[in-house]
């Protein structure tokens, strides 16, 4: 298939990759901040509003709206929850701007959130937080936000490239700036190179390289894999968040691994072992309301105690809160469990820790700029805001806050950019050859390799880690990667060739799995989501550092950099002296 016959060249001014909360908010803000006549294009692997992780958000949106809560309190919870590893300037801006963004979601985007009888926004309890600050729409908050954003974007003169998969960041010849992005038009199988003055990478995370995971299978860390190949620095790559309560419904259904939201535990849900005992207070004084990393490890420890292969997880029980009350407050969760044959309201539901969110990502500044001119990153692709552990409710806040900031920043920066940049044609050809590689190999199934990778990551680089396991995992990842290079896809018809895209998905997952494992080996202490049984202590908080992974000539290397305590140091607080140390969350 000749190269010239299947590549299209396309120009725009602002290109946004991804249509989750970050991408859609960026499109709206870019339209407001950019000069008149600026061409804005959004490209998405699937369909606008129908893919991505924001749509899957159940719990809610963290924002300090008074009633004893403050931005300072939200910030301190975020820093302490992240075990002093967050970029403090990013965390502060997240907490501060969440107040602005939630009003924008209501008054400009058109979201309807649940309210109290007096008309104020209802805010529920989430684990690891000292106030009830999680705004929500029942337990289907993400659907409300993404549907309203989708309506706004679809009504605007914004170019939409749906079912366009981004596969490569293409720099200029001298490597000083980004020229554009290579994509595949999945509807035809043809390559399309999109030049742009500014590019936002908001493709989301999606740690689906684990046996149990919450995101849909098409979320495969493509953005971070592209950034790694482009030589960009990625921080905190070892920090994979496991949500404690993923539905365990059996290998026969993809419902296994999907989240039973944190609000269940915030409302008083109890975790019960197979022996019928409530166990979380054995691991933390906060019980089921401890942070996600602590609860996940508690569940995993209980799972280890059980030698019956037919009883893998533990149970969550809500019946003591009253079945009718549970059905009313958690309609979405009750229906989800009922679809899988479980009664959440009156019975017990088996759960297991499930890979949920990725705290690591591209190193950015507080305005979402990266080390590569013309490239911006927001949402789950960006590292720094959460450190080693994300508080429930901070994810969708992070996406919408920094999506809006990215749109504003690109709209301003583009005023100083006079012309589109020419790409390095050698890099462009190399990325095309890389994507076409499986078309030159004997066809074979990719899914067995993906299942093998998921077992490796769950067993060796999962909830609890150690050097022996991660070294073994690194070797097994390399073996799987080598196997992948030897299997291929029939090149007869590339239009909607899902096997080809399965191969590309797997390539991204292998690359990021290697980075996760090497970063995990580098961190010889336990912080947040990263727990090493051979180094269980957190290390010196005052000497905190974060990992930085880079790829050069195909080899991933990990270094360390010191955390900048720009606002508050370990042992200090920015709360007023007369404010109580804890504000007990109300039921």
User: What is the C-alpha radius of gyration for the chain, rounded to an integer number of angstroms?
Assistant: 23
CA-nearest of 203, 216, 196, 204 to 165 is 203
Q: Tell me how many degrees the CA angle 461-465-467 measures, rounded to the nearest 5.
A: 95
d(CA 362, CA 228): 9
What separation, in Å, do the N-terminal and C-terminal C-alpha atoms of the chain show? 63
Report the side by side order of strands in the sheet with 61-62.
Answer: 61-62, 134-135, 123-124
d(CA 517, CA 469): 10
d(CA 408, CA 29): 6
Bridge-partner residues for 160, per DSSP?
A: 42
Only one residue has tokens 């995101």, namely 215
Q: Say how far residue 78 (Cα) sits from the centre of its chain.
A: 16
Query: DSSP secondary structure string, 68-117?
Result: T--HHHHHHHHHHHTTT-S-HHHHHHHHHHHHHHHHHIIIII-----B-T
Catalytic-residue membership of 122: no
Query: Is the torsion defined by CA of 61, 65, 66, 70 positive or negative?
Result: positive
In 100-252, DSSP assigns E strands to: 123-124, 134-135, 159-162, 164-171, 178-185, 190-195, 198-201, 234-235, 240-247
> What are the φ and ψ backbone dihedral angles of 549, each rounded to 5 degrees?
-105, 135
| DSSP H or E segment with residue 220 | none
CA-nearest of 420, 378, 421, 413 to 35 is 413
> What are the φ and ψ backbone dihedral angles of 329, each rounded to 5 degrees?
-80, -30
Q: Quote the DSSP letter at residue 209.
A: T
How many residues appear in the chain? 587
Catalytic-residue membership of 265: yes
Secondary structure of residue 349 in the 3-state scheme = strand
Question: Choosing from 265, 386, 390, 421, which is the catalytic residue?
Answer: 265
Tokens read off for 315: 């149970």
Question: Choosing from 93, 213, 243, 327, which is the catalytic residue?
Answer: 243
Q: Say how far residue 387 (Cα) sits from the centre of its chain.
A: 13
Active site residues: 243, 265
């Amino acid at each position: 298939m000749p190269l010239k016959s299947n590549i299209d060249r396309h120009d725009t001014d602002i290109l946004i990759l991804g249509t989750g909360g970050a991408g859609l908010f960026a499109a709206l803000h870019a339209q407001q901040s950019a000069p008149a006549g600026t061409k804005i294009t959004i490209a998405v692997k699937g369909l606008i509003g129908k893919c991505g992780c924001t749509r899957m958000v159940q719990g809610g949106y963290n924002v300090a709206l008074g009633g004893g809560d403050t931005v300072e309190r939200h910030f301190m919870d975020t820093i302490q929850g992240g075990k002093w590893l967050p970029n403090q300037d990013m965390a502060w801006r997240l907490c501060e701007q969440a107040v602005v963004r939630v009003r924008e979601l209501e008054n400009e985007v058109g979201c309807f959130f649940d309210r109290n009888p007096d008309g104020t926004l209802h805010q529920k309890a989430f684990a690891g937080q000292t106030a009830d600050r999680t705004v929500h729409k029942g337990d289907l908050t993400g659907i409300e936000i993404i549907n309203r954003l989708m309506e706004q974007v679809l009504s605007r003169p914004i170019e939409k490239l749906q079912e366009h998969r981004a596969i490569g960041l293409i720099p200029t010849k001298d490597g000083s700036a980004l020229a554009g992005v290579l994509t595949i038009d999945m509807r035809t199988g043809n390559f399309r190179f999109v030049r742009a003055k500014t590019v936002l990478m908001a493709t989301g995370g999606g740690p689906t390289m684990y046996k149990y995971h919450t995101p849909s299978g098409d979320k495969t860390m493509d953005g971070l894999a592209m950034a790694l190949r482009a030589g960009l620095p990625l921080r905190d790559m070892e920090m994979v968040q496991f949500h404690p309560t993923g539905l365990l419904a059996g290998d026969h259904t993809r419902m296994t691994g999907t989240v039973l939201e944190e609000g269940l535990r915030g409302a008083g849900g109890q975790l019960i072992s197979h022996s019928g005992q409530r166990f979380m207070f054995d691991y933390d004084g906060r019980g089921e309301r401890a942070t996600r990393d602590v609860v996940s490890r508690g569940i995993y420890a209980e799972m280890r105690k059980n030698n019956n292969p037919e009883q893998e997880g533990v149970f969550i029980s809500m019946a003591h809160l009253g079945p009718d009350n549970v059905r009313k407050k958690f309609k979405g969760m009750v229906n989800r469990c009922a679809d899988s044959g479980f009664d959440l309201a009156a019975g017990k539901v088996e759960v297991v820790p499930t890979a949920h969110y990725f705290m690591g990502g591209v190193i950015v500044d507080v305005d979402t700029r990266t080390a590569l001119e013309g490239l911006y990153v927001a949402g789950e692709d960006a590292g720094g805001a959460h450190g080693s552990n994300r508080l429930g409710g901070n994810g969708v806040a992070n996406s919408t806050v920094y999506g809006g900031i990215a749109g504003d920043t690109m709209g301003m920066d583009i005023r100083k950019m006079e012309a589109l940049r020419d790409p390095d044609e050698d890099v462009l050809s190399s990325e095309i050859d890389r994507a076409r590689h499986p078309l030159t190999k004997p066809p074979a199934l990719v899914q067995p390799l993906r299942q093998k990778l998921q077992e490796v990551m769950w067993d060796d680089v999962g909830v609890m880690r150690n050097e022996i396991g991660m070294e073994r995992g690194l070797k097994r990842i390399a073996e799987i990667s080598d196997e992948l290079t030897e299997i291929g896809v029939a090149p007869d018809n590339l239009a909607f060739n899902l096997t080809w895209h399965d191969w590309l998905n797997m390539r991204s997952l292998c690359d990021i799995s290697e980075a996760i494992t090497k970063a995990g080996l580098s961190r010889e202490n336990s912080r947040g989501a990263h727990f090493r049984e051979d180094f269980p202590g957190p290390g010196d908080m005052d000497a905190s550092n974060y990992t930085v992974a880079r790829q050069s000539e195909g080899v991933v290397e990990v270094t360390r950099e010191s955390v900048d305590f720009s606002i508050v140091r370990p042992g200090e607080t920015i709360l007023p002296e007369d404010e109580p140390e804890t504000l007990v969350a109300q039921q």
